[in-house]
Amino acid sequence: MDLTLANSSAHPYKLPSYIYSCQELRHLKLSKCIFKPPLMFVGFRNLSILHLKKVSFVVNTFENFPLLEYITFVTCVGVRHFHICSPKLRSFTAIDTQDVRWSSFMISPNLTVVYIALCRIRQYGQGERIDLVKLVGCLPAIVNLSLDGLFLKVSTATGSSMESVVSYLEAPDCLDQTLDKLQTVNMKFMGSGAELLLIKLLLAHSPSLKKVTIEQGGVIDAYQGFKVSRELMRFSRALPRAEIISLEPSQQIMRVMAIAGNGNCEAIKSAKADIISNLPRDIIANILKRMPIKYVVRTSMLSRKWRYNWSTIPELEFGQQFFENSDSVSIISKLLLLHSGPILKFVIQISSKISFTEREVIDINQWILFLSRNGLEELTFEYSPCSFREPKKLPYKLPSHLFSCLQLTHLKLCKCSLFPPVTFEGFPNLINLELYYVAREPDLCLAAGDGPKRLPAAFNCLKMLTLSGIDFRNSNGEISRAICLICSSPNLQELEISAYRNDHSAVSDPGIEFWEEKCTMGQLRTVKFTAVEGLTTELKFIKYILACSPLLEKVYVEREEVADASAGLMTGFMISKELMRFRRASPKAEVMYSDPSEAKLA
């Protein structure tokens, strides 16, 4: 019933004809033999395990193995002559065996394990060309799939074959079926694009795939490994929990603006000014609002028609250069007094070096009062630059008139004080809120508590959220409040977080219970995480977002720049490998990692 024949001599042993009459054989193991059955041989009807090593097949044969479950070829020759019918085949292994007639083995509905390792490239002879499309398409029951990198190298050896394979793999939706039972994939990676595309295909069509293990099949440095792992992170997964493990071996109305900007009024007059002057008012307004304010006012000298055009523009912006003028506050006050239309957008950007007199502060307060009566929708008031840490002083306290601007849709404040009156109930039309170190009343809370909990009143209309300067080293409060804000925004779609590097504090982790308290971010689509160091708390935060966002599509992770590019790239490689392992609630989630060290070494 069991026969093992291991030939240790220098010459192969030709099996005698009577061995083919052993119909009761169940296990057959042959080594260094010649398999040449007689013409009347139809197979071993009871054989369940067939292991062949260094066996040569010299004639075409068609054998019926109705009970065969396991078949192994190791360094065999002439396998193209070997045709079998084995409907119960469960496991197929081919090691260093290239001339296999794959179509004769991959038709079993019960085939669950496939292991193919070519080990080295040899001549095909008359063997059947490996067809990836056919191979993947006829494995409906596959559970475990292992492939050697040379398998794809051989299958794409010729130009036409390469084009057809890559064309197929780049459009994986053409696969008629899903590999419903595939759970594990092992691949010895050689660094080819076809290998990456095959992994992409398997991830997209395997709803039960739990783990993809990639072993580097050669010397791949940190830079190459980083590029591969970054690409792998982007692939969508039919099973969000699928894990990828990388094993190491030991990223023209402009002319009008330019002329006006130079104050060349005569040039405009001689350049068919009537064409511009007779444009519709909305187009003229559209031109003016794209020009710096001092050039807008200069247009009043062009002609009588242009004298008051500037006074109706709905958007006024005053940058830092404007405030270099000592009487800038007085100029703005006069402009507002002469303005005759609604002001929908008002932008003030003041250098932190500038201070105002008490009289000027009163004038600025009057601006806010004037704006509150003119339909203001967008307001930016900032002392620049807007840093993420506490300034030495807060130069300006916003007047209470601000809180009567109920038409506000966009509000950006930087380095000022915000003290709403008791009767203030919020801005009902506010869409975009940006606060950069704004002092506030203690009762004005955007987040609360030290855990990932929701606020009593949710931000139901909040769709975009940016959190800047989060200190992931000192987790006391900052991480929990960030998650509190996110979890309290059920319709949040875009999230951007920038980390703040604080080298003077030790890294502290909120603990296991904190990260296990999940909340569902049901509408989150895009996440951008910048200035990442690679801290444990940063990676756990990203893992938390991935695990709680069922509709997540894109995650961008950007590493902070470091002086030592080589060491930085090695750290980046480890970060990308860790990100690759994280399971995802969304099968469409792509994680894209970029590292400035890559550009330095490229």
> At 496, is the pLDDT very low, low, confident or very high (cuts 50, 70, 90)?
very high
Can the peptide bond before residue 249 be classed as cis, meaning omega within 30 degrees of 0?
no
- Residue 275 has a pLDDT of 61
Main-chain phi, psi angles of 89, to 5 degrees: -60, 125
Q: Which residue has the higher pLDDT, 509 or 579?
A: 579
Asked whether residue 134 is assigned to any structural domain, the reply reads: yes
- Residue 515 has a pLDDT of 67
Picking from 89, 113, 142, the residue at the C-terminal end of a domain is 89
- Residue 253 has a pLDDT of 40
CA–CA gap between residue 112 and residue 119 (Å, rounded): 22
Quick one: 38 and 58 in the same domain? yes
Q: Flag whether pLDDT at 564 surpasses 80.
A: no
Q: Which residue has the higher pLDDT, 178 or 537?
A: 537
Asked whether residue 466 is assigned to any structural domain, the reply reads: no
CA–CA gap between residue 66 and residue 48 (Å, rounded): 8
Quick one: 60 and 105 in the same domain? no
The pTM for the full model equals 0.56
- Residue 294 has a pLDDT of 76
Q: Flag whether pLDDT at 507 surpasses 80.
A: no
Q: What angle do CA 332, 335, 339 make, to 5 degrees?
A: 140
- Residue 376 has a pLDDT of 92
Asked whether residue 525 is assigned to any structural domain, the reply reads: no
Summarised one tens digit per residue, pLDDT across range 348-362 is: 988 767 777 888 888
Q: Flag whether pLDDT at 550 surpasses 70.
A: yes
Quick one: 131 and 178 in the same domain? yes
> What's the burial of 29, exposed, middle or buried (CB within 10 Å: 0-12/13-18/19+)?
middle
Q: What is the number of H-type helices and E-type strands within the chain?
A: 17, 28
Quick one: 196 and 275 in the same domain? no
State the alpha helices, DSSP H only, in 429-564.
Answer: 478-487, 512-516, 536-548
Q: Flag whether pLDDT at 423 surpasses 80.
A: yes
- Residue 344 has a pLDDT of 92
Q: What is the mean pLDDT of residues 92-103?
A: 79
Quick one: 118 and 160 in the same domain? yes
Q: Flag whether pLDDT at 202 surpasses 60.
A: yes
Quick one: 104 and 158 in the same domain? yes
Quick one: 263 and 206 in the same domain? no
- Residue 290 has a pLDDT of 78
The answer to whether residues 211 and 184 touch, using CB atoms and an 8 Å cutoff, is yes
Q: Flag whether pLDDT at 297 surpasses 90.
A: no
Quick one: 108 and 55 in the same domain? no
Quick one: 48 and 73 in the same domain? yes
| Paired strand residues for 335 | none
- Residue 448 has a pLDDT of 47
Asked whether residue 579 is assigned to any structural domain, the reply reads: no
DSSP 154-200: HHT-SHHHHHHHHHHHT-GGG-SS--TT--EEEEEE---HHHHHHHH
Asked whether residue 595 is assigned to any structural domain, the reply reads: no
Strand order across the 49-53 sheet? 2-6, 27-31, 49-53, 70-74, 91-95, 113-117, 144-148, 184-189, 211-216, 243-247
Picking from 89, 104, 124, the residue at the C-terminal end of a domain is 89
Picking from 38, 72, 89, the residue at the C-terminal end of a domain is 89
Q: Which amino acid is at 145?
A: L
The answer to whether residues 556 and 529 touch, using CB atoms and an 8 Å cutoff, is yes
Asked whether residue 534 is assigned to any structural domain, the reply reads: no
Quick one: 135 and 166 in the same domain? yes
Count of the separate structural domains present in the chain: 3
Asked whether residue 437 is assigned to any structural domain, the reply reads: no
Percent of the chain with pLDDT over 90: 12
- Residue 542 has a pLDDT of 92
SS3 434: strand
Q: Which residue has the higher pLDDT, 557 or 473?
A: 557
The label of the residue with tokens 């704006």 reads 371
- Residue 445 has a pLDDT of 52
Q: Flag whether pLDDT at 29 surpasses 90.
A: yes
Nearest by Cα to 580 from 187, 211, 223, 248:
211
Q: Round the average pLDDT of the chain to a whole number and report it.
A: 77
- Residue 489 has a pLDDT of 86
Main-chain phi, psi angles of 134, to 5 degrees: -70, -40
Q: Which residue has the higher pLDDT, 70 or 42?
A: 70
Quick one: 207 and 133 in the same domain? yes
> At 255, is the pLDDT very low, low, confident or very high (cuts 50, 70, 90)?
very low
Main-chain phi, psi angles of 96, to 5 degrees: 55, 40
Which region holds residue 33: left if phi is over 0, alpha if psi is between -120 and 50, else beta?
Answer: beta
> At 161, is the pLDDT very low, low, confident or very high (cuts 50, 70, 90)?
very low
Q: What is the mean pLDDT of residues 538-551?
A: 91
Q: What is the mean pLDDT of residues 467-482?
A: 76
- Residue 120 has a pLDDT of 63
Q: Which of 264-278, 343-357, 472-486 has the highest mean pLDDT?
A: 343-357
- Residue 249 has a pLDDT of 52
> At 523, is the pLDDT very low, low, confident or very high (cuts 50, 70, 90)?
very high
Q: Flag whether pLDDT at 387 surpasses 50.
A: no
Q: Flag whether pLDDT at 377 surpasses 90.
A: yes
Domain that residue 65 falls in = 1-89
Quick one: 100 and 210 in the same domain? yes
DSSP 204-216: HT-TT--EEEEEE
Q: What is the mean pLDDT of residues 131-144?
A: 73
Nearest by Cα to 441 from 457, 417, 412:
417
Asked whether residue 412 is assigned to any structural domain, the reply reads: no
